[in-house]
């Protein structure tokens, strides 16, 4: 092999390595950070007005007195982390999701909220914070004065779907690409309406999260392509120079 051909081969291999490195940066997904969050116990009330019905068998009018429904809620305010959702070629929507787990403060068994599986992870909002409202209506054994431990993990992944014979689409599961691992547990006492410290300031209007990591990868790809073009141009110029000297 001539010196010119050898030089050209080296240039091509070098340029290819730059392109492959740039693509690897573009396709990598950074592991999410362990989520930071605060807890707040709140109650909400709904007044049910008195009503009357007619007994279909006797024709008598039945009066139903009014009453007040009280909803007990734990508000979990999560500080979002930089990530730009995207859709893969196969249609999978990739985003950050939050998995919520809780247990009695004096117990050892953790349960996922609300249905105990990854089917119930919560999609991160496009604002600075994601607020997850944990209703205690399905947990009658959690009384005022009870203490709960809660923990969160951040997931990057997507839901999986299937189509029923009637054409409707339903969720079959959730695929995790990256996980932050569980946060430290925070304890909240039911019946005490006060936020855990520190309490975040929630913006009044949504703001788009910055995408520093994705932007960095794109810049690396652009830089790799620019270097590749420069190396190829210099190599071709050198090769033409050597050919003319012969």
pLDDT interval class at 236 (50, 70, 90) = low
**Judgement on whether residues 61 and 177 belong to the same structural domain of the protein:** yes
Six token digits for residue 49:
């007005």
| pLDDT for the residue 70 | 87
> Are 47 and 159 members of one domain?
yes
- Given this model, what pLDDT does residue 165 score? 93
pLDDT at 34 over 70: yes
Q: How many percent of the chain have pLDDT more than 90?
A: 54
Q: Which residue has the tokens 């270097």?
A: 227
Determine the pLDDT at residue 246: 60
Q: Tell me the pLDDT band of 45, cut-offs 50, 70 and 90.
A: confident
Same domain, 122 and 225: no
Reply yes or no on whether the pLDDT at 134 is more than 60: yes
Domain count, the chain: 2
Quickly tell me which residue has 């995207």 as its tokens: 86
The confidence score (pLDDT) of residue 106 equals: 96
Q: Looking at the structure, tell me whether residues 106 and 144 fall in a common domain.
A: yes
Same domain, 9 and 67: no
DSSP line for 124-193 = PPSSSEEEEEEE-TT-TT--TT-EEEEEEEEEEEEEEEEE-TTS-EEEEEEEEEEE--PPPPEEEETT--
Mean pLDDT score, 125-133: 95
Report pLDDT digits (tens) over 181-204: 999 999 999 987 554 434 443 433
Helix (H) or strand (E) holding 64: strand 61-64
Residue 8 shares a structural domain with residue 51 = no
Q: Is pLDDT at 141 greater than 50 in this prediction?
A: yes
Same domain for 172 and 243? no
Whether residue 121 is found in the same domain as residue 226: no
Are 26 and 37 in a shared domain? no
| 25, 16 Cβ separation under 8 angstroms | no
Higher pLDDT among residues 198 and 111, named by residue: 111
Burial (CB < 10 A; 0-12, 13-18, 19+), residue 200, is middle
> Where does the pLDDT of residue 124 fall: very low under 50, low under 70, confident under 90, or very high at 90 and above?
very high
User: What phi and psi, each to the nearest 5 degrees, are found at residue 130?
Assistant: -110, 125
Mean pLDDT of 174-187: 95
Residue 230: domain span = 1-30+211-246
- Other C-beta atoms within 10 Å of 130: how many? 20
Residue 237 is predicted with a pLDDT of 62
pLDDT value for 216:
36
CB 192 within 8 A of CB 41: yes
């Amino acid at each position: 092999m001539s010196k010119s051909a050898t030089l050209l081969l080296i240039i091509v291999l070098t340029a290819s390595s730059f392109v492959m490195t740039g693509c690897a940066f573009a396709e990598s997904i950074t592991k999410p950070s362990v989520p930071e969050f605060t807890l707040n116990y709140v109650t909400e009330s709904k007044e049910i007005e008195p009503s009357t019905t007619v007994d279909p068998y006797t024709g008598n009018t039945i009066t139903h007195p009014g009453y007040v429904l009280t909803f007990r809620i734990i508000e979990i305010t999560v500080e979002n982390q930089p990530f730009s959702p995207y859709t893969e070629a196969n249609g999978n929507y990739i985003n950050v999701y939050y998995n919520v787990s809780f247990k009695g403060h004096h117990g050892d068994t953790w349960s996922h909220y609300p249905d105990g599986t990854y089917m119930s992870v919560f999609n991160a909002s496009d604002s600075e914070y994601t607020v997850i409202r944990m209703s205690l209506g399905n947990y009658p054994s959690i009384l005022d004065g009870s203490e709960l431990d809660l923990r969160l993990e951040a997931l990057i992944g997507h839901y999986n779907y299937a189509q029923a014979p009637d054409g409707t689409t339903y969720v079959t599961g959730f695929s995790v690409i990256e996980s932050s691992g569980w946060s430290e547990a925070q304890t909240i006492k039911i019946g005490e309406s006060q936020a855990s410290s520190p309490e975040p300031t929630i913006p009044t209007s949504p703001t788009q999260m910055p995408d520093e990591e994705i932007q960095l990868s794109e810049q690396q790809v652009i830089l790799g392509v620019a270097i590749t073009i420069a190396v190829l141009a210099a190599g071709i110029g050198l090769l033409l120079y050597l050919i003319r000297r012969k």
